[in-house]
Structure formats: structure tokens, C-alpha cells
Structure 1
Amino acid sequence: MNKGFYLVMAAQALSSVADNALLIAAIALIADLSGPDWMVPLMKWWFALAYVALAAFVGAFADAFPKGRVMFITNGIKFIGCALMFNLHTLASSQDMQLFYIFFAYTLVGIGAAAYSPAKYGIVTEMLKPELLVKGNSWIEGLTVLSIIVGTVLGGVLIHPDISPTLQNTPGINQMAANRTEAAILIIGFIYLAAAACNLLIPKTHVHYPQQKTNPFALIHDFKGYVCVLWQDKLGQISLAVTTLFWGAGATLQFIVIEWGAQQLGYRLDQASILMGVA
């Protein structure tokens, strides 16, 4: 393992922690605005939909530029989504428009995350020797799962009634954040900036790929062929099926645990988020 790979892991971990902490902050914002119950799961659904809708295109985008730069750009898209959520009350005055901006902002984060993924996995093949690829991908996957847990817990901690007043009274934060969710989102924004700093430090691998196609129909046609090849392969079938079930079940359980904690244990969002991380 080299220094560049550790920077990739750090950037991935920080960016993923921020994604999941921002989800909890977004749920808190929706609750503060008395938003509809259906909005939270639909917001997460749109986040995941970006991975499906952009699947045929993000690989070509990642191969068209140095992958460290792609990670920086896509992390920047996430940061813009975070910034939109932070400036919610400046951008809109009506409750309906504020709810729309929350939805739109987290969808934007999902687009950034979808475009980020092929770059983070692709750069592993450029940095590590073939015999280290399984180990390297295991580290990336393990950190991704851990960052989801840490990010969810962090989101709960940042909006906790014992923590948020301290955050709001912290010099610097008290001048920019007017309430608990703004203070939490501000901290999350700094985590995105830390991930961006790691992206900039990732050394260039000097690996060049053939000119990528730009015609969307050609990209969709190629992607369809790749999917068919994977599903015709026995190991490919297992890999795709297990990955789909694992991440699908994980995303569903994320909301089930929060709702179960609220309904059965009387937990607030911050408590249920911490419970989910512990569970």
C-alpha cells in the first residue's frame, strides 16, 4: 500500500461520513418544518436513484480525467448540495419551497456520490499491484460500511439537545448558524472540505485511457452489454445479487430502525440515529 492509496481511503471515508451525517440533518430539517412523512424515504430513494440513472455514464466520466480530479469535482457537487441546505432560509421563505430545496439538495448529493464511486474504485486499480487489488478493495468497502455507521451516529450527535447548544455558542459557528440544523450542516460542510483537501493531495497515476464516448445512446448500449456479460457469469451473478441485496437491505433498515426507535422506544431522531449506529 502506498501513500496515495491511504489518501484515497481518507477522502472516501470523510466524504461518506458527511453524506450520512447530512441525511440525519436533512431529516431533522424536514421535521422542524413539519414536512410530510413520505418525504424522508422518498428523498433517500432519489439519492439511490442517481446511482441507477447515471450508471451508464459515470464510468466514462471517471476514465476521461485523472480520477483524483474526478473525486474532487464530484465531492464538490456534494458540497454544493450541503451549502444549499445550509442556506435554505435565505433561498426560500415559504415552507413548501424550503422542503423542495431540502429534497433537491440531497438529490444533488446523490448525483455527486454516484459519480464519485467509479473514480474511487477505478483509482485503486491504478495505484495497487494486481495481487493487492482484493486487499485494497476490501479496505475501501470496509471503510464505506464503517463510514455509514459513523456518519449516521455523527448526524445524531450534532443535533443532540445536549450538544447542539454548545455548537451554536462556539465562536465562529454562532455567527453563521442560527439553529441546531444549520450548526450541524456547517460542521458537515467542513468534513466535505477535508475530503476535498485529501482529493487534491492524491498523486496523479499517469494512467491514460482511450478517448471516451460522449454519445449517451452509445454509452447506454455499451453498458447494457457489460451488464449482460456480468449476469451470464456465475460469479458475476452472485456478486451483483449479493451487492444489490446488501445495500438495498441496509438502506431500508436505516429508516426502519429510526422509525422503530421513535414508535416503540419513544426516541428522538438523534437518539434513534445513535441507536442505528450501535445496532
Structure 2
Amino acid sequence: MKSARNYPLLLSSQFLSAFADNVLLAVILGQLTFMHQRHDITDIQLRSYNALYTSLFFVPYILLAPLAGYLNDRFAKTRWLLGGNAIKATGVIVAALSVWWGYQWQALGYLIVGIGACIYSPAKYGILPEILPNERLVKANGTVELLTIMAILAGPVTGAIMVDKYSVLSCYAFLMGIFAVSISLNLFMTETPHNPAIRLKASYKEFVLNFQDLAQSPRLIRILLGTGVFWIAGAVLKMNFQPWGIGFLGFETNRQIAELGLWLGVGIIGGSLLAGQLHKVGDVTKTRLYGALLAILAMLLSLIAKPLFAVPILILIGASAGLFLIPLNAALQAESHPDKLGKTIAAQNFVDNLAMIGGGAFVFLSIRWGLDAQGIFVGLGIIVLLCIAALKIPKHQPTPAYAEPVTK
């Protein structure tokens, strides 16, 4: 019997957990702003540390993706909702040691939080079919995604305000309180089924074989790589906001910097909603156009020196990105084999996180090559243009592996 209380407990716990993830990064990066203002770090160090710390979160998603899938298939997903949050809380405690032992402890702490998030992520979606009837799954997935977006938008601004006004230790105490509440909600969930027959080696093999299946479809593999382009752009923009805001827009507080990401997020939401009105499922004919617009607008940011002009450009970039991503996501899910949809999403998550690490590597190398924040916007635009030039997605032609069965 499916417990009626599991779903609301999941929603509450998921929002708090995702919110805390984003608050934590804002607290860590916010300290860099003050260190730069005190001349404890140089411009190059500010930008390098920003790229490094932001990228650390994604590393476990690359190294541990098959393991996370195995753990959530082998054991009860309620257990790994709890376990993922507990690992995150441990990471916050490790990061808090930086108050006494040095800033570098936050790197280790944030990496541990990334491990917890990697394990938590498959559980929050995979648990839905186990706690809800089929007719509620589409709406439930949308609700989980909406709460995640709200956390992504609210978390950085909240963390920025806190680190501007309160001590670092107070910020970490606040984060521990959030995770404590989220963990408590997990403890009240009724345990879901587990499958002792699942084996780790088989889980790794299935992950690789499914990726190979996707690679054999010229259309699906290009769609998959297209979603990666979106996340490269998002990662580079996010990492570049702090040095751009400080060096070119004249920002002095972390809240001002965080609001740049907020405006970008508003645009993404608007573009995502508009995509649903303009395109049917499977229609990716305008993808390259939206990608080109995103690239041009990103390069245009290099000419902006006043916040007043930055806001509408950021909203337009976000809208272009939403229009670019949503048709790709819809096509990937609709055209994948129904029995392999979960594995397809796992492959997409792997590619997207690899793309974000790639974005971090681009920022880090650009700094070494002497590019400033404006130069990175131009470089990002060039990369996106090159990617979409190669991203000629063929029309959908069902193959025997994906075709609907014929009945007589």
C-alpha cells in the first residue's frame, strides 16, 4: 500500500535540501568577495577559486553516477533520501571547520555535499512511481521540478544576503538547521520497496550499454549533446557573474551579484513556458536559431557596463536558453524507448554534469590565457556558435528499436 504522507514529505524535504545546496555555494563564494575587497586575493585568484568551487559540486555526478543508480535500485529510496541529506549535512560541518582551520576546508565540504546530492538526486524522482498512482506522475514530476527551480532561484539570493549581514559561522548554523529539518522529514517517510537482486556490476554495465544505444541514434545523440550545450552556457555564465559584477558593473555586495543569476533564471522560466506554447513535442527545428541568439546575447554582455542595461539582456539570454532546452528535453523523453526512459535520463544527467565541468574548465583555462570577464562572455558565445553549427539534428525516423509495435 502506498503511503499518502510520503509525497508531501518528499516535496518539503526536496525543496529544503535543494535550497540549502544553493545557499551553501552563495556563502562560500560570498567570502571570496570580501577577501578580494580586503586584497587578500587577487582578481585572478577570485575568478579561479570561483570556477574551482562551483565545479566541485558536479564531480561526484560524473564519478559516481552508476553507483548512485545502483544504490537507489538496490535499497529503499527513502533510505537514500535520508542518506543523501545526511552526507550533505556532514559536508556542511566539514565546510564550517574553515572558520577555525582555513578557507580550503570549504572545498572538501562542498565536494562532500556534491556526493550527497549525487545520491539524493535519483531517489527524488525514482521514488515517485513507488508512492503515487500512474495518473499523477506527470504532475508530480513537474511539481518536483518547479520546487527545484524555486530553490535554485531563492537559494543564492538568500545565501548572499546572509553572508553580507551575518558571520560565516552563523550562516553554517542556519544551513545545519535546514538540513536537520529536511532529514527529520525523511525520517517520517514510510519505507519504500528494495530489490536485493540488483548487482553493482550489472548496474554499471546497463549504464554503459544504454549510453551506447543512444549513441547509435544520430538524432538522439545530437539532442543529448544539445542539452549539454545549455549547461555549458549556464555554468560559464554563473561562474563569470561574480568577477563581472565586481570588476565591470561596480558591485560591492553579494546580493547584487546573486541578483544577476535571479534575472537569468526569470528569463529561463519565461522561455520554458513559451517553448511549450510554440513547439509540439519532437519539434526541434528552431533549436539552432535559439542557440545562435543565446550566443550573440552572451557576447553582447561584454559591452555592458551598467546594471540597468544588464538586466534585460540577462532576461533575454535566459528566455533564449529556455526556448533552446525545453524542446530538446521533450524530444529526448518522447523518442526514447519507454522501457529505457529512466536510463536515458541518467545518461542525460551524466552528459549535463560533464558539460558543467567542461564549462568550469573553460573558465579556468581562459583565466590562464589572460581573458578577463568580458572576454569569457565572448569566448562562451563563440563556443556555443561552434556547437550549434555542428548540431544539425536529423528528422525523427523511428527505428525498429524505438518504433511502435504493429498489430494485426
Q: 1:3 Cα shift?
A: 3.2
In structure 1, the partner of 2:120 is 116
| Gapped regions of structure 1 (runs ≥ 5) | 93-97, 165-179
**Mapped contact 2:96–2:106 kept (Cα < 8 A):** no
CA displacement, residues 28-57 of structure 1 (integer Å, 9 cap, x when unaligned): 334555453312211221211211111111
Structure 1 residues 229 and 202 mapped into 2: Cα distance closer, same or farther (>3 Å)? farther
Q: 1:2 Cα shift?
A: 4.3
In structure 2, the partner of 1:270 is 255
1:211 to 2:213 alignment:
no
More off after superposition, 25-34 vs 218-227: 25-34
Aligned length: 253
Find the partner of 1:11 among 1, 10, 13.
Answer: 13
Find the partner of 2:70 among 57, 60, 65.
Answer: 60
**Mapped contact 2:99–2:168 kept (Cα < 8 A):** no
The 2-side partners of 1:193 and 1:234 are apart by 46
Structure 1 residues 240 and 2 mapped into 2: Cα distance closer, same or farther (>3 Å)? farther
In structure 1, the partner of 2:99 is 89
1:186 to 2:188 alignment:
no
Structure 1 residues 239 and 11 mapped into 2: Cα distance closer, same or farther (>3 Å)? farther
The 2-side partners of 1:150 and 1:239 are apart by 30
The 1-side partners of 2:15 and 2:160 are apart by 18
Q: 1:229 Cα shift?
A: 2.9
Structure 1 residues 26 and 76 mapped into 2: Cα distance closer, same or farther (>3 Å)? same
**Mapped contact 1:262–1:269 kept (Cα < 8 A):** no
More off after superposition, 124-133 vs 67-76: 124-133
What is the DSSP-based 3-state SS (H/G/I as helix, E as strand, rest coil) of the residue aligned with 2:106? helix
Find the partner of 1:225 among 209, 224, 232.
Answer: 209
Structure 1 residues 54 and 152 mapped into 2: Cα distance closer, same or farther (>3 Å)? same
Compute the RMSD of aligned alpha carbons.
Answer: 2.4
The 1-side partners of 2:184 and 2:75 are apart by 18
Q: 1:185 Cα shift?
A: 1.6
CA displacement, residues 208-248 of structure 1 (integer Å, 9 cap, x when unaligned): 32422134xx5432210122234446885476445434444
| Gapped regions of structure 2 (runs ≥ 5) | 265-408
Relative contact order: is structure 1 or structure 2 higher (C-alpha 8 Å, sep ≥ 6)? 1
Mapping 1:97-116, distance limit 5 Å = 98-116=102-120
- Where has structure 1 moved over 6 Å in runs of 4 or more? none
Q: 1:11 Cα shift?
A: 0.9
Find the partner of 2:24 among 22, 25, 31.
Answer: 22
1:148 to 2:152 alignment:
yes
The 2-side partners of 1:124 and 1:133 are apart by 7
More off after superposition, 247-256 vs 182-191: 247-256
Structure 1 residues 236 and 65 mapped into 2: Cα distance closer, same or farther (>3 Å)? farther
